[in-house]
Chains A and B, each alone.
Chain A
Amino acid sequence: MNAAWLPLTALATSLLVVVIIFALPEEARRLRTTINLVAAVVKIILVMLMVRRVAAGHEDIFSFQVIGGVDFVLRSDALGVMFAGLSSLLWLCTTVYAIGYLEGSANRKRFFGFFSLCVASTIGIALADNLFTFLIFYEMLTLSTYPLVVHNGTQKALDAGRVYLRYTLSAGVVLLLGAVLLYTLTGDQSFSSEEGLGDYLNDHRGLLTLIFALLVGGLAVKAAMVPLHGWLPRAMVAPAPVSALLHAVAVVKAGAFGILRVVYDLFGIELSVELGVITVLAVAASITIIYGSLRAIAQEELKPRLAFSTVSQVSYVILGIGIFGPFGTVGALAHLLHQGLMKVTLFFCAGNYAEELGIHRIDEMDGAGKRMPLTSIAFTIGALGMIGLPPVAGFITKWYLGVGAIQAGMYWIVAVLVASSTLNAIYFLPIVHRLWFRLGPSHGKGSWPKEQRLGRLETHGWLLWPMVFTALVSLGAGLFAGLPFSPLDWAARVANGEYLP
């Protein structure tokens, strides 16, 4: 039985919200909030339904023909549902957070409208079953995030937005070129087709490599791989919930997810190995990992440091793709989720520090643990996870990547992983140390840059609870990785589908 309505409704809930929000007047705060939250919860339920159906072996397809030979297809497969699950879970968290964060500020209608559109695009990206559908949502994502990045409207924000558009739109052109070349070669190529592009290998080796380079090159901009990462640290001027969404699931992850689709579902892993592009990916990812970590050490402000940390961490996913074998794939897929959970936590924390205490620079964080204990605990969990220390989720992925690298005979990757862990420790542990072991304004030394008492607890409840939730989930995903339907379990399920016939 094909429940075609399921992927369609999952997509439609967010899109419908966009329409409703833009139709509502700016002042209808309560109604907008309610609609947003209800839609987010409904979407989680829908994705859970999809998860159940995929686990039972059903893949629901919705499709219609746009013009001859070009179809619009949505399909819920294991990989897509994984990304959709991350997207819908974090949508709820970031929406709750954004409601608290934007309390009383202007242009909330615009913000939430584009916020929902952005999430709708990620769902579309997750469920797209061919390159055409994927591209539509991928470009929609680019355009819907621009108003979010420049939301503050300051000159700095506008500059950052321009840089962002330059990077992503030119990448979109490159991607489109690759897609067109592929269509001229093969016609409509579904992500779910069994044979992949293996048949074309003998006659079109050079062309296939070119197409791969164009597609991955275009996607790598969003995935912020060095040297195409320049937009990401600048986009930090966006409000905290946007940064959280951008770094955890929307833009950066969309790029990484696109590369996953291209390698595993479009080209097929055997063909990619045959073309020799896998190793190139692994090397490029390693360079990004090390470079991002090194740059992160040099940052003096919290959000740019987290941004460079994202540059480094997202490439773990690419690194996992570059490791041939089930372990590498599991590592890549699990990190897609783990990094999202941990990074969203860290950005929530950064936002809380900025909102409650006005902290932007790292040297202002001395002793903040006493003033904001829950936020600081969440930050510590996220930071330890990024370093890759057990029991936080980051350890699980690091483990799978390392073991996969050894089994694929790529010993140097272990060195990269160890170096990256050490570098992560070098730029995260000092922050943790400042939070808990230094004396600061809460001990009567100096004062916070701009302290507000936003709530009865350490800060506004809407800002606090999403962060606590994601921190707990990051911890749980590592501590109970062996449970069914944990990120690791689901990643293993997807990887089994790739490698076992």
Chain B
Amino acid sequence: MMTLLLALALLWPLGVAGYTLWNAYRRPATQRGYFSLLWLSAVWPALLLAYAGEAHWTINAWMLGGEWELNSLSRPWLAFTALLWGLAAFHAKGYFAAEQAKAQAGDQDAQRRLLRLALLWPLTLLGNVLLIIAQDIASFYLGFALMTFAAYALVVHSGSDEARLGAKAYLILAVVGEGLILGGFLWAAGEADTLTLQGVREGILVAEHGSWMAALLCLGFGVKAGVIGLHVWLPLAHPVAPAPASAVLSGAMIKAGLLGWISVLPLGSEQVSEPLAQFGNTMLIAGLAAAFGAALYGVFQRHPKAVLAYSSISQMGMMTALVAMGLVAPEVWPLLWPGLVLFAAHHALAKGSLFMGTSISEHLPRWPLPLIWALLALPGISLAGAIGAGMVSKWGVKSPLYEMHHESLIKLLSWAAVGTAALVSVALWRQWQQRHKGGSNPEQWGAWLVAIVAALLTPLWLPLPAGSIEMPPMKEWLGIVWPFPVGVLFAAIGWLLTRPLKGKTLPAGDLWWLYAGVVSAMLVPIQAFGHGCGRLKSASVVTAQKAEETLMGHITRLLSGESWLRHHTSGLMMVLAVLLAALLMWEGQR
């Protein structure tokens, strides 16, 4: 039964992609619907699979040996990922309704874009599902690569200049990331002679250069997870991607980077070596830097989705810090990880609904405005930890840290939550400024509402181990809730202080522009060197040809000597005969 479900979960999206192609091939463009019920159902088997229980599969024929598993970690992960994908698909149906109408009216551009999206959406989803259940390196890498490269179509969808820039940044960093991951995997797996993620974890733990392997892998996955320095694609890609694509990008796909870390790092092991712990500290600092830096930079963004992208970087920074605790203080990890998974799941749904919300504020339904803004704010407030699942997830990571006496980290995380609150308020404010009337259809706001409810009630439906998550006690509430009002206050003060700037903002993508400048400056000497090499080559070809000519000249002259020989054959023969005779006579006289 489980195996059947697994096969369905993996083959169904593939079948949906195939059906989309078939549909495009068979049906005339004027009657073609890209988002049929079948298309919406691509992720349903995977969602069912997450709730069907734990299981383990070994498939020897699959690549280097397939090892797939649903365990206490991958089940909740699959659950929230699949749920978000499902909701985003519904949202997409509504979001693209206008574009589909255009396509049916004969707009070829719209047809092309929609077909591309409808085809690659299930493939991206398939990659995401596969990497969650994979326990062997090859499957994991396959899922990761499939998701990464197929998602390009989701980012570039609109085809505008900004979209192309965002997609380019996404792709360049993705290639860099894939390279780092490949290097890290080869190194770790070669050292430990293993094909499974479990083996990589154990290998990194005991290897001499374990911390370097961990660093390679962490940076590689860090491209997805938006680790500071490699995060630049997020604020460039998110604003340009369609809202449902941003939702899964920020909700599900960047979590794949986080899952990558959890899968390859020997978190919570007692024998963490000194360099590995040192690496953990670096990661902790990088995470906190991202949490604060992104908040500081993000509040100055104009586009609400750019603000939300920076909020994702900030949130992922917090999660980075929590993962790093598994190396720095291994003893907290067994208590911490359920909280971290809840944190990730809640962020996925909350951020997903916030991104879907941006499409709601652009096409406001005919509801009272205060109600809409209250609804738009709900996931944000929860994200800042003031209500619902946000509170529970904050407590879920706080209480183990309390128990193990890491008060300073708790304090820092609370202040980072202040940043989250500020970012969310800025995002809402920007949405308010850029609101548009009319046009939401039921799928669009329906999926959004369900996502909000799911975000607020995350602990209720997430299949975490029993008893690993509990409600915060009443006396702790104040300690969890305070960052929210403070953050809103900060945002308001900041707004007042920056009013004289008249809306001048910092460019989205911060370091990207620096990198682009550095790379293009570096290309200049490389190009000069290349031209130099080209000149050197043509010069040596010329020299070689000259040398050949001279040589051939000499040989030709030898040949002309031959004709001289021919001319004087008889005389030469005579001379030869005389010489021979003389030789013989001389020989005979002796």
Chain A residues packing against B (C-beta within 8 Å): 298, 327, 370, 388-391, 395-396, 398-399, 402-407, 411, 414-415, 417-419, 421-422, 425-426, 429, 436-437, 443-444, 478-483
Contact = CB atoms under 8 A, between A and B. Distances in A.
Given A390-B145, A425-B175, A414 B187 contact: yes
Contacts of B182: 388, 398, 402, 417-418, 421
Contacts of B66: 482
Most A C-beta atoms less than 10 A away, residue of B112, B116, B153: B112
Contacts of A405: 186, 190
Given A406-B190, A414-B186, A480 B149 contact: no
Contact of A478 (B63, B180, B187, B190): B63
Most buried by A among B62, B153, B186, B191: B186
9 contacts: A399-B186, A403-B186, A415-B183, A418-B183, A421-B178, A425-B178, A429-B171, A437-B156, A479-B62
Given A403-B190, A407-B193, A391 B63 contact: yes
Interface of B: 59-66, 108-109, 112, 116, 138, 141-142, 145, 149, 153, 156, 171, 175-176, 178-180, 182-183, 186-187, 189-191, 193, 530
B190 A482 contact: no
> When A and B form their complex, which 4 residue pairs have the shortest distance between CB atoms, in order from nearest?
A406-B190, A402-B186, A390-B142, A403-B190
Given A402-B186, A407-B190, 20 more contacts: A388-B182, A389-B145, A389-B149, A390-B63, A402-B182, A402-B190, A405-B186, A406-B190, A406-B191, A414-B183, A418-B180, A418-B183, A421-B178, A425-B178, A443-B109, A443-B112, A480-B61, A480-B62, A480-B63, A482-B61
B108 A444 contact: yes
A384 to B, nearest CB: 8
A406 B145 CA distance: 23
Contacts of B189: 403, 406
B186 A482 contact: no
B530 to A, nearest CB: 8
A389 B178 contact: yes
A437 B119 CA distance: 13
A482 B108 contact: no
A475 to B, nearest CB: 11
A437 B62 CA distance: 31
A329 to B, nearest CB: 15
Contacts of B186: 399, 402-403, 405-406, 414, 417-418
Nearest to A422: B179
A9 B109 CA distance: 58
Contact of B63 (A414, A419, A436, A479): A479
A370 B59 CA distance: 36
Contacts of A425: 175, 178
- Which residue among A327, A404, A407, A437 has the maximum number of chain B CB atoms within 10 Å of its CB? A437
The CB with the most chain B CB atoms within 10 A, among A370, A399, A421, is that of: A399
Contact of B142 (A327, A391, A402): A391
Contacts of B116: 436-437
Contact of B61 (A407, A411, A426, A483): A483
* B59, B138, B171, most chain A CB atoms within 10 A: B138
A482 B145 contact: no
Contact of A482 (B60, B112, B187): B60
B222 to A, nearest CB: 16
B454 to A, nearest CB: 33
Given A390-B141, A390-B145, A407-B193, A422 B64 contact: no
Contacts, number: 93
A164 to B, nearest CB: 17
A486 to B, nearest CB: 8
B536 to A, nearest CB: 13
B190 A429 contact: no
B457 to A, nearest CB: 37
A418 B190 contact: no
A478 B138 CA distance: 10
Given A399-B186, A406-B186, A418 B62 contact: no
A392 to B, nearest CB: 10
Contacts of B191: 406
B179 A418 contact: yes
Nearest to B193: A407
Nearest to B120: A436
A135 B149 CA distance: 46
A404 B190 contact: yes
Given A479-B63, A480-B62, A482-B65, A395 B183 contact: no
A79 B190 CA distance: 25
B42 to A, nearest CB: 20
B506 to A, nearest CB: 30
Given A395-B138, A399-B138, A429-B175, A411 B62 contact: no
Contacts of A389: 145, 149, 178
B537 to A, nearest CB: 10
A421 B179 contact: yes
Contacts of B193: 403, 407
B151 to A, nearest CB: 13
A403 B65 CA distance: 15
A419 B182 CA distance: 10
Contacts of B180: 418
> Which of A388, A395, A404 has the largest count of B CB atoms less than 10 A from its CB?
A395
A443 B108 contact: yes
Nearest to B66: A482
B546 to A, nearest CB: 17
B279 to A, nearest CB: 19
Interface core residue of B59, B61, B180 (most chain A CB under 10 Å): B61
A399 B64 contact: yes
Contact of B64 (A402, A419, A481): A481
A429 B193 CA distance: 31
A355 B145 CA distance: 33
Given A390-B142, A411-B187, A422-B175, A396 B149 contact: no
Contacts of A483: 61
Contacts of A480: 61-63
A91 B190 CA distance: 36
Nearest to B140: A390
B208 to A, nearest CB: 12
Nearest to B63: A481
Contacts of A388: 182
Contacts of B149: 389
Contacts of A414: 183, 186-187, 190
A212 to B, nearest CB: 28
Contacts of B175: 422, 425-426, 429
Nearest to B108: A443
A407 B171 CA distance: 32
Max chain B Cβ within 10 angstroms of own Cβ: one of A395, A405, A418, A436:
A418
A468 to B, nearest CB: 15
Nearest to B112: A443
A402 B59 CA distance: 23
B22 to A, nearest CB: 12
A433 B521 CA distance: 25
Contacts of A395: 63, 138, 141-142
Contact of B187 (A406, A419, A421, A436): A406
Contacts of A481: 63-64
Nearest to A478: B63
Given A390-B145, A399-B138, A403-B190, A482 B178 contact: no
A351 B63 CA distance: 30
B178 A396 contact: no
A322 to B, nearest CB: 16
B63 A482 contact: yes
Contacts of B108: 443-444
Among A370, A414, A417, A436: residue with most chain B CB under 10 A: A414
A298 B531 CA distance: 12
A388 B186 CA distance: 13
Nearest to B164: A437
A421 B177 CA distance: 12
